[in-house]
Amino acid sequence: MSRVTVSPKYQVVIPKAVRESMRIRPGDQVEVFQYEGRIEFVPVRPMREMRGLLKGLNTRVRRDKDRA
């Protein structure tokens, strides 16, 4: 876990190890959420990059007999 300091302009630097592991590059966007008393940064990824993310997922859904 890394610790960062908030600058007088309310800016933080994402530590190099985190940037590299999350493949964050200059110009990338991140979404910022407040969740259960903490701040979370989630990288915004292009939809093309998500291709194949759910590959192998079982898409069969059990349905009641009276439902199609």
Q: pLDDT for 28-68, tens place per residue?
A: 999 999 999 999 999 998 878 777 777 888 888 888 878 76
Length of the chain: 68
pLDDT of residue 14: 94
Instruction: For residue range 20-32, list pLDDT tens digits in order.
Output: 999 899 999 999 9
Range 31-43 burial, b when 16+ CB lie within 10 A, else e: eeeeeeeeeeeee
Name the domain count of the chain: 1
What is the maximum alpha-carbon separation in the chain?
63
Domain limits for position 47: 1-68
CA distances (Å), 5 to each of 50, 60, 62, in order? 32, 48, 50
Per-residue model confidence (pLDDT) at position 68: 60
Residue 8 has pLDDT above 90, yes or no: yes
Kindly report the CATH number assigned to the domain that includes residue 41: 2.10.260.10
CA 28/CA 43 separation, integer angstroms: 8
DSSP label at 64?
Answer: -
